[in-house]
């Protein structure tokens, strides 16, 4: 029997594999794939696509967005966060919802080493966890690199604590457990030296039964925070959004099963003209299924990628 739930692949033209060494003394690198359009336009910014939790540059929504941007003349970089994609099990540290320093390092590499593709600037696009990261990046004031022209955040958990609590709802249990398994696998893929602090934290990862416990016993101590609540408070995008001054499209669906709607509904969008909220009633989490002409449905692409392209057109 054919598997009708198989995720779409979204074929892309061949790209250039890149590695971005981090300058924090860890020896870690981030990996990505750069695609140049067949007919490049010098006035169109590079589109930097960043995946969500337990994703990679090959997540279907990343590949779909890459195809849409390429077809409209934009160069595209599909980036893997630290410890994701080709570097699972090959880094000393891992990404988290607020690790904007890694994105800034990649942007610095692009501006310095690939000036031709970054000549018209960069539009940073983040999905889910990376959506929170991108909004935080955009609101970090003078730390935001000048090469960034604009940003897009899709289904971002702008209140990390509220999102973690929402995962505990009974209806979310299947996805919660699946996601926790993926997070554990990514983390435990890097062997820890016996008796080290990391070995102790990895033991806590094995014991974790919820994402909150994972964040509390692994992410927080591994990055210098007291507990999960401090990690959430310091890194939630909501506290940075009022400082955003460059064009930023925020796409979110109020029926997202994993992200509470209140942080979006309570935010004073009118007081922050650089933020363009596209908040709809239905769409799920990075879903936004679009109807085909024959009445079928497509996954990824469709409405969400048309919104991305329209936003990019406003920057030309």
Residue 8 lies in a domain: no
Same domain, 117 and 251: yes
Residues with active-site annotation:
128, 256, 285
Same domain, 130 and 21: yes
Query: What is the model's pLDDT at position 41?
Result: 74
Same domain, 133 and 212: no
CATH of the domain at 98: 3.40.50.1820
Residue 4 lies in a domain: no
Same domain, 225 and 249: no
Residue 2 lies in a domain: no
Query: What is the model's pLDDT at position 297?
Result: 38
Per-residue pLDDT of the chain (316 residues; tens, 9 = 90+): 333 345 566 899 999 999 999 999 999 999 999 999 988 777 899 999 999 999 999 999 999 999 999 999 999 999 999 999 999 999 999 999 999 999 999 999 999 999 999 999 999 999 999 999 999 999 999 999 999 999 999 999 999 999 999 999 999 999 999 999 999 999 999 999 999 999 999 999 999 999 999 999 999 999 999 999 999 999 999 999 999 999 999 999 999 999 999 999 999 999 999 999 999 999 999 998 764 443 333 344 589 999 999 999 999 7
Domain with 289, as residue range(s), is: 16-159+240-315
Please tell me the pTM assigned to this model.
0.94
Same domain, 290 and 203: no
Same domain, 97 and 176: no
List, as one string, the DSSP characters of the chain. Answer: ---TTPPP-------EEEEEE-SSSS--EEEEEEE--SS--TTS-EEEEE--TT--TTSHHHHHHHHHHHHTT--EEEEPPTTSGGGTTS-SS---TT-HHHHHHHHHHHHHH-TTTTTT-EEEEEETHHHHHHHHHHTSGGGS-TTEEEEEEES--SSHHHHHHHHTSGGGHHHHHHHHHHHHHHHHTSPPPTTSHHHHHHHHHHH--SHHHHIIIIIHHHTT-SSHHHHHHHH-GGGTGGG--S-EEEEEETT-SSS-SHHHHSS-GGG-TTEEEEEES--TTTT--EE-TTS-EESSSHHHHHHHHHHHHHH-
Residue 263 lies in a domain: yes
Same domain, 219 and 91: no
Same domain, 188 and 142: no
Query: What is the model's pLDDT at position 286?
Result: 95
Query: What is the model's pLDDT at position 6?
Result: 53
Residue 187 lies in a domain: yes
Query: What is the model's pLDDT at position 106?
Result: 98
């Amino acid at each position: 029997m054919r598997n009708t739930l198989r995720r779409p692949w979204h074929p892309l033209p061949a790209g250039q594999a890149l590695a971005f060494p981090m300058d924090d003394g860890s020896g870690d690198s981030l990996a990505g794939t750069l695609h140049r359009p067949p007919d490049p336009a010098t006035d169109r910014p590079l589109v930097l696509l960043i995946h969500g939790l337990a994703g990679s540059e090959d997540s279907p929504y990343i590949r779909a967005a890459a195809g849409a941007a390429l077809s409209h003349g934009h160069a595209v970089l599909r980036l893997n966060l630290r410890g994701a994609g080709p570097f699972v099990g090959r880094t000393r540290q891992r990404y988290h919802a607020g690790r904007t320093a890694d994105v800034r390092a990649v942007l610095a590499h692009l501006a310095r080493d690939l000036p031709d593709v970054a000549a018209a600037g960069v539009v940073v696009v983040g999905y889910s966890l990376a959506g929170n990261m991108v909004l935080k990046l955009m609101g970090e004031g003078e730390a935001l690199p000048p090469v960034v022209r604009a940003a897009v955040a899709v289904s971002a958990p702008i209140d990390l604590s509220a999102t973690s609590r929402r995962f505990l709802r009974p209806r979310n249990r299947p996805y919660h457990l699946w996601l926790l398994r993926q997070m554990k696998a990514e983390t435990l893929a890097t062997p820890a030296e016996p008796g080290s602090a990391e070995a102790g934290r990895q033991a806590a990862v094995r014991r974790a039964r919820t994402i909150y416990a994972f964040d509390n016993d692994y992410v927080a101590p591994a990055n210098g925070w007291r507990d999960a609540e401090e990690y959430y408070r310091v890194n939630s995008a909501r506290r940075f959004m009022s400082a955003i001054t460059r064009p930023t499209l925020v796409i979110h669906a109020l029926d997202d099963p994993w992200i509470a709607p209140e942080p979006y509904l309570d935010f004073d969008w009118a007081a922050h003209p650089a933020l363009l909220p596209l908040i709809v009633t239905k769409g799920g989490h990075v879903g936004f299924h679009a109807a085909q002409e024959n009445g079928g449905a497509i996954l990824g692409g469709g409405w969400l990628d048309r919104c991305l392209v329209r936003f990019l057109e406003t920057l030309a």
